[in-house]
Structure formats: structure tokens, C-alpha cells
């Protein structure tokens, strides 16, 4: 039975890991988002990973050989808790895919500002809608970083600023 799992990538090598895993025949999903950067004072849209240093693989627990994954260029390893490799629910992946445009990029809206570190926020839309987290930082112009209890631990999750509101 094929299920989705999270893979941690080496710093700034998400694209390389995605390409090499795909070349090996693995089903790979790396959610992308467009952010506005100002290199040299000019405003420019840049496409980058929605979850920097992470991507998702759909793997068969029995029929597939997972050994090549850890030696793939750009891959640091599978996300694990001890010996357990947690499963990412398929509806989370499908929710992310459903929000992507024709380029495979998840559009981000206008930022909501004024959040203070430590403030509780609730996700209002998307596959994680209804979950709450603690505001940590603003990332770019239109994303926020939340500390959430998720996947059997606490995780820093970067989400669109339009997708959160005060709890």
C-alpha cells in the first residue's frame, strides 16, 4: 500500500532532491509558492518551496526498496521518530495539490500583519484548516511561521499569511 512520507533535504537542495528522486522512479511532491523578493531594490516574484528543506514521497511499505533514498543527492533522510517513519495523510497532500495553479505553485495572498511572537493563531483555510499554532515570525512579505503540534511532535510550519487569523 502506497502512503506519503516526508523527506528532509539538505540546505538549499530541495530542487536537486526532487529531481534525483524523480529520476529514480519515486513519486515526489514538493509544494511550491510564489513570494515577492526585492533583490537590488526591485520587486520580483520568486518561486520556492512552501516547506523549505522538505518534500513528500509516496512509498510502498512492502514492495519498494527505500535504501537508495538516503544516498540520493540533496536528501538528508526520511523524517523519523526513532524507528518510526510517520505517514503524512493523503488528504493533506491532495489539499495542497488542489490549491496549486497550472504551474504547480500555491498562490499566496496579502499578508496580515500585527501578530506578536507567542500569539495563538488559527489556520482558516487549506488542508490544515482549524488547527492552531503559535506565531513565531513573519517570513517574506506574505508568509508566517507557526509553531504547531503536528505529526507527533512540534514543528515550525510556514503558511500563507491570508490563511491565519487570531484564535
Residue 75: CATH number of its domain: 3.30.70.940
Are residue 70 and residue 139 in the same domain, yes or no?
no
The pLDDT tens digits of the residues spanning 67-78 come to 899 899 999 999
Phi, psi of 115 (to 5 degrees): -80, 145
The pLDDT tens digits of the residues spanning 73-103 come to 999 999 998 889 999 999 999 988 988 888 8
Q: In the β-sheet with 54-60, what is the strand arrangement from edge to edge?
A: 27-29, 54-60, 2-9, 75-78
Are residue 21 and residue 77 in the same domain, yes or no?
yes
28 CB-near residues (< 8 Å, 6+ apart): 18, 21, 22, 55, 56, 57
pLDDT score of 111: 43
Are residue 148 and residue 98 in the same domain, yes or no?
no
Are residue 101 and residue 152 in the same domain, yes or no?
no
Are residue 19 and residue 55 in the same domain, yes or no?
yes
Contact 157, 163 (CB under 8 A): no
- Give a yes or no: residue 57 inside a domain: yes
CATH number of residue 156's parent domain:
2.30.30.30
Q: Say how far apart CA 32 and CA 123 lie, in whole Å.
A: 19
- Give a yes or no: residue 112 inside a domain: no
Are residue 49 and residue 88 in the same domain, yes or no?
yes
Higher pLDDT, 72 or 148: 72
Are residue 83 and residue 55 in the same domain, yes or no?
yes
Cα-based angle 89, 90, 94 (whole degrees, multiple of 5): 130
Continuous segment of H or E residues that includes residue 5 = strand 2-9
Are residue 36 and residue 91 in the same domain, yes or no?
yes
Are residue 137 and residue 60 in the same domain, yes or no?
no
> Which range of residues forms the domain containing residue 141?
120-166
Are residue 149 and residue 80 in the same domain, yes or no?
no
Contact 62, 56 (CB under 8 A): no
Residue 158 bridge partners (DSSP): 145
pLDDT score of 113: 54
Phi, psi of 40 (to 5 degrees): 65, 25
- Give a yes or no: residue 113 inside a domain: no
CA distances from 166 to 1, 14, 150 (A): 39, 31, 19
pLDDT score of 128: 81
pLDDT level of residue 141 (50, 70, 90 thresholds): low
pLDDT at 140 over 80: no
Residue 6 bridge partners (DSSP): 56
Amino acid at each position: 500500500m502506497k502512503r506519503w512520507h516526508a523527506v528532509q533535504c539538505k540546505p538549499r537542495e530541495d530542487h536537486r532532491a526532487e529531481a534525483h528522486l524523480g529520476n529514480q522512479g519515486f513519486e515526489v511532491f514538493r509544494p511550491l509558492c510564489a513570494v515577492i523578493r526585492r533583490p537590488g531594490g526591485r520587486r520580483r516574484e520568486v518561486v520556492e518551496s512552501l516547506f523549505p528543506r522538505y518534500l513528500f514521497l509516496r512509498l510502498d511499505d512492502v514492495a519498494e526498496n527505500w535504501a537508495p533514498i538516503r544516498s540520493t543527492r540533496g536528501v538528508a533522510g526520511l523524517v523519523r521518530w526513532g524507528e518510526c517513519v510517520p505517514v503524512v495523510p493523503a488528504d493533506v497532500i491532495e489539499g495542497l495539490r488542489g490549491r496549486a495553479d497550472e504551474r504547480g505553485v500555491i498562490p499566496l495572498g496579502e499578508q496580515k500583519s500585527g501578530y506578536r511572537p507567542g500569539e495563538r493563531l488559527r489556520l482558516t483555510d487549506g488542508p490544515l484548516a482549524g488547527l492552531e499554532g503559535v506565531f513565531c515570525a513573519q517570513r517574506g512579505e506574505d508568509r508566517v511561521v507557526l509553531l504547531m503540534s503536528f505529526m507527533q511532535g512540534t514543528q515550525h510550519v510556514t503558511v500563507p499569511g491570508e490563511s491565519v487569523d487570531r484564535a
